[in-house]
Amino acid sequence: MEQIIQEIVEKALLVGVRLLEVTKTSADESLDELARLADTAGVEVMERVFQSRESPDSAYFVGKGKAEEIAAIYKELDLSTVIFDVDLSPAQTRNLEEIIEGKVIDRTRLILDIFAQHARTKEAMLEVELAQLSYQLPRLTRLWTHLSRQTAGAQSGGVGTRGPGEKQLELDRRLIRNRMSSLKHSLDKVKENRNLERKSREDTFSIAIVGYTNAGKSTLLNALANEHLYTDDKLFATLDPVTRIVHLSDNYSVLATDTVGFIRNLPHHLIASFRATLEEVNKANLLLHVVDASHPNVTEQIEAVDVVLKQLGAKDIPTLMVLNKTDRLDDLDALSDLSQSYPEGIAVSALCGTGLDALKVRLLEEASSNEIEVNFEIPQTHGQIINYIYNHGRIINKEFKDGFVCLQARMDRKYADKLNKIMKELNAQVTYIA
């Protein structure tokens, strides 16, 4: 018998809260973004509730009266979830669930759910699980036995290790901490492997593509590298860093890495959990800050990215702004205003390909800014030196005369200095003119 399985779609009520220090516009925009997050998570938003208050209520965040109003709407619409556009404390979540008699999640929990859906590689899965456990640990108020039996058996120490009177809750917390420790150890291994990979390509100029989620980072990398990576018009469509070679000219290439998108009010423990992925940002020679120029809240998104970069300790890395999605702009005055605010920004449409040539020219300028022009007369027998110049420089001119190779090249000053040391160690009869 053929069975038809109908996917159950969660129906949710969104709750926005505007505190005293937050403007109404900012609070409305945040609630709109929460709706997009819910859509990305596969949740259907049925209703919204908004409240302005001076400060959070310690028991219910929105106060008991508002909580009872939310409970009535929840029952009337036969909903399955209430999503708050704030971070709730464990006690607030518990109190709200009791009065609503249904599931209550906050903004961070929703983002974690999206991360879990989109994690594909082992590294991303490890980072997502670590973030989930960091979130769960202070919220553990009932028996927690969902950790794998193997993990529980191995991590808890086996028979005879439980102390007299130890409660199940304490044991569960210990299991989570042990699992978190194991995950951090595994991610340290990932970090070591990344460092080895990075060391093998440290001679190549590296670019990290950063920006607000759904700004078009992956689409831009596809366009620059002529690749076809996965993209989607949803928040956090990609979590895993992807590195590709980008050819800026016939004889100059760089490495560009797409990173996880940022978002406003990104919890600090999420950033900590994704440290292995986000380390690509700190190690880059240049940051490419991709901005959705067509977004009505583009300025706030730029500020949100700057906040996260500061948290990562990457604020001082040279940054080039890319004003993307210009094909979606009906009002060219908006782009003009944005260009005036960010005169160093380059306007492009990664989807249509406009502006990419200008971007590549600018990237080539940035990547070659530390280069100097050098001239060599090298005996043809010194193949090692000739290969080094080809591998670390750009050949401008080459001639042969009287058993010598005459090379004119552009090379990063640090590689030119290294080459000078190599020639001295080999006692090579090479004429080197900087």
Q: What is the CATH number of domain 11-113?
A: 3.40.50.11060
* E-state strands within 199-285: 206-211, 242-249, 252-258
Give the model's pLDDT for residue 1: 41
* Among 107, 92, 77, CA closest to 15: 107
The residue extents of the domains of the chain are 11-113, 120-199, 203-367, 371-433
Decide whether 11-113 matches 203-367 in CATH topology: yes
* Among 94, 88, 81, 78, CA closest to 41: 81
Residue 27 has pLDDT above 60, yes or no: yes
pLDDT in tens, 162-199: 444 456 778 888 888 999 999 999 988 887 887 777 66
Q: Is residue 356 within a helix (H) or strand (E), and if so which, with residue range? A: helix 356-367
Give the model's pLDDT for residue 324: 95
Residue 284 has pLDDT above 60, yes or no: yes
Q: Which architecture characterizes domain 371-433 according to CATH?
A: 2-Layer Sandwich (3.30)
Give the model's pLDDT for residue 414: 78
pLDDT in tens, 57-77: 999 999 999 999 999 999 999
Report the amino acid identity of residue 80: S
For the record, the structure tokens of 125 come out as 């899965």
Name which residue leads in pLDDT, 82 or 316: 82
pTM listed for this prediction? 0.76
Measure the CA–CA gap between 97 and 71, rounded to whole angstroms.
Answer: 9
pLDDT in tens, 325-379: 999 987 777 788 888 888 889 999 999 999 999 999 999 999 888 888 888 788 8
Q: Which CATH superfamily is domain 203-367 in?
A: P-loop containing nucleotide triphosphate hydrolases (3.40.50.300)
